[in-house]
Chains A and B, each alone.
Chain A
Amino acid sequence: GAVVSQHPSRVICKSGTSVKIECRSLDFQATTMFWYRQFPKQSLMLMATSNEGSKATYEQGVEKDKFLINHASLTLSTLTVTSAHPEDSSFYICSARLDSTDTQYFGPGTRLTVL
């Protein structure tokens, strides 16, 4: 149980385009999901907290107009990287909180490469 999926697993796009990443909790409902970013040889950095039915809370230094987060249902949160640039190339990982155990479960990650 407590499985989280992400789609796509890998995406390559041209500079200036937008990319949408989906995060789904497959066997539980998650009122809260989180988005992280990880650069090579670094640890995970929290980008934002996504709450179902309300606006996301962004960490300092993360542009909310560039990284659009939508948490429209209890099993789906999306991250859209708008007008992507090469410096946005990274490993994006989501997690979903299982309320009953107060435990976060992570998706497998999405590798974004912007050319």
Chain B
Amino acid sequence: DAKTTQPPSMDCAEGRAANLPCNHSTISGNEYVYWYRQIHSQGPQYIIHGLKNNETNEMASLIITEDRKSSTLILPHATLRDTAVYYCIVRVGGQAGTALIFGKGTTLSVSS
């Protein structure tokens, strides 16, 4: 799987939008971008994933650049409960036996 690069940490004020960047310059055409987050001492939580179009769900929006070499996860109104480690992962789609490989992620700290 292609590697991703994320900033190690970010801060965000409560109520503001949190924009988490991810670089995946070597992504292949059949690789999807997945975002998960892990709150301390819990299992990772699925947030969103996409191939090339922008995606939005009740948790977040995913913006993928046209060349697919980078993406941004947007939490529109961050709350204290959004404090977590956020992982951006690229993975070949449609292959059951292909696991998610986790990097170091971005630690997002939301403060009041």
Contacts and interface: CB of A to CB of B under 8 A. Distances in A.
Interface stretch (A12-20, A65-73, A90-98): A90-98
Nearest to B96: A32
Given A43-B103, A44-B102, A108 B96 contact: no
B13 interface: no
Contacts, number: 57
A43 B102 CA distance: 6
Interface in A35-51: 36, 43-46, 49, 51
Contact of B97 (A6, A51, A111): A51
Interface in B57-105: 87, 93-94, 96-97, 99-105
B104 A103 contact: no
Interface residues of A, number: 28
Secondary structure call for the B interface:
loop
Interface string A19-61: 0000000000001101010000001111001010000010000
Nearest to B87: A43
Secondary structure call for the A interface:
strand
Nearest to A111: B41
A44 to B, nearest CB: 4
Contacts of B101: 46
A103 B102 contact: no
Interface string B38-58: 100111111001000000000
24 contacts: A6-B43, A32-B96, A36-B102, A43-B105, A44-B38, A46-B100, A46-B101, A49-B97, A49-B99, A51-B97, A91-B41, A93-B43, A95-B44, A95-B99, A97-B96, A102-B93, A103-B46, A103-B49, A104-B100, A106-B44, A106-B46, A108-B43, A109-B41, A111-B41
Interface of A: 2, 4, 6, 31-32, 34, 36, 43-46, 49, 51, 57, 91, 93, 95, 97, 99, 102-109, 111
